[in-house]
A and B are shown apart, each in its own frame.
Chain A
Amino acid sequence: EPEVTQTPSHQVTQMGQEVILRCVPISNHLYFYWYRQILGQKVEFLVSFYNNEISEKSEIFDDQFSVERPDGSNFTLKIRSTKLEDSAMYFCASSEVNWGGYGNTEAFFGQGTRLTVV
């Protein structure tokens, strides 16, 4: 069964360092997302990506964050200068379609990357 895969599963980084979280979405999906979940809190939307550009981003997704689809399969989230408060689980998700239209709007999540900033 197709699935979203994320690497690494756990990343420990020093405050101020750059991290890149990687995701391989499901192959026929066109919409890609990053979400995060701080321990004990709700899953929060960060950004959606379609046709090689950002569709929507939340207020959390400030200038420290960027996303890229460097090739036909990978989708990355970069945090330029990590802060302690960036410590969270980061989930990548993908769906065939996003909002209305034809096709399946169901979004499937990867297993997550646990980012710990020390």
Chain B
Amino acid sequence: QKEVEQNSGPLSVPEGAIASLNCTYSDRVSQSFFWYRQYSGKSPELIMSIYSNGDKEDGRFTAQLNKASQYVSLLIRDSQPSDSATYLCAVNAGKLIFGQGTTLQVKP
């Protein structure tokens, strides 16, 4: 059974701080990793993809991948109240397998 694990949270950070979201996965064959943001009642919105070990930066977002440790993370710098949402880690193992999501609360 291929699994993606995330801490459900909530993770609460003050505005302007760095939010760190973590994810582990079980399938060693996986090659593509994604972070989606989901606001309540809405669909998942792709915010980052990462395919190689190391860091990938896009604006305030940095995705980190360590295939040896089967670990993916997302850092959000200068967190804003509008970043408050559930962040879904997804792993492509022939189809997307989602974690249960981490709820992020950014407090003004």
A interface list, Cβ under 8 A from B: 33, 35, 41-45, 48, 56, 89, 91, 93, 98-100, 105-112
- A111 partner, pick from B36, B42, B95, B99, beta carbons under 8 A: B42
Whether the Cβ atoms of B98 and A42 lie closer than 8 Å is yes
Do B44 and A45 have beta carbons less than 8 Å apart? Answer: no
Q: Which residues from chain B contact A107 at a C-beta distance below 8 Å?
A: 34, 46, 96
Contacts of A48 in B (CB 8 A): 94-95
Residue of B nearest to A104 (CB): B49
B92 to chain A: which residues have CB within 8 Å? 98-99, 105
B94 lies within 8 A of A56 (CB): yes
Which residues of chain B are within 8 angstroms of A41 by Cβ–Cβ distance? Answer: 100
- State whether A109 touches B43 (Cβ < 8 A): yes
Contacts of B98 in A (CB 8 A): 42-44
Task: List which B43-75 residues lie within 8 A (CB) of chain A.
Answer: 43-46, 49
A100: nearest chain-B partner, CB-CB: B31
Give Cα A110 to B32, complex, Å.
Answer: 20
Instruction: Across the A-B interface, give the 5 residue pairs with the lowest CB-CB distance, nearest first.
Output: A43-B98, A109-B43, A42-B100, A112-B43, A105-B32
Residues of B within 8 A of A44 (CB): 98
Q: Assuming A43-B88, A105-B32, A106-B34, is B44 touching A33 (CB within 8 A)?
A: no
Are A42's CB and B95's CB within 8 A?
Answer: no
- Residue B11 is within 8 A (CB to CB) of chain A in the complex: no
Distance to closest chain B CB from A113 (angstroms): 10
Indicate if the CB atoms of B43 and A91 lie closer than 8 Å: yes
The 15 sampled A-B contact pairs (Cβ below 8 Å) are A41-B100, A43-B88, A45-B95, A48-B95, A56-B95, A91-B44, A98-B92, A98-B94, A100-B31, A105-B49, A106-B46, A108-B46, A109-B43, A109-B46, A112-B43
CA distance A3 to B94 in the complex (A): 22
